[in-house]
Amino acid sequence: MKHNILVRDKSRNHTCHEDKSLMDGLNVYENLVPKGCHNGACGVCKIHILNGEYSKSKMNRRYISQEDEDKNIVLACKVFPKTDMEIEFLPKPKILSALEKKVYILGN
């Protein structure tokens, strides 16, 4: 069954099948979700869930603490929609702090 997912920070919505994670369901649409590893290790798909019911699998604790998880801050690649949802992608804070330090990143 498909559900409607509103990505609030992009002001766009697309459907996601409940057998697919939000990351897998939404990444086929260009410029809608950040590109990442789709399975938990990279942390680029951190979202805040604003509305909607969902199930989830195990989060990578290197990026998502129990407190985050309790506040609906999760990795999109580990979340499966059960109803229509509203979500917002969060910037990867550690990357931002590294950029502040002006650490050279290959290709940037």
Positions touching another protein (CB under 8 A) are: 24, 34-44, 57-58, 60-62, 77, 94-95, 98-99, 103-108
Cβ of residue 82: shortest distance to another protein, in angstroms? 21
> In this complex, which beta carbon is closest to another protein, that of residue 50 or of residue 99?
99
Cβ of residue 51: shortest distance to another protein, in angstroms? 26
Extract the tokens encoding 72.
Answer: 């609906």
Phi and psi (nearest 5°) for 74?
A: -145, 175
Strands (E), the chain: 2-7, 12-17, 46-51, 54-56, 73-75, 79-81, 85-89
Cβ of residue 106: shortest distance to another protein, in angstroms? 5
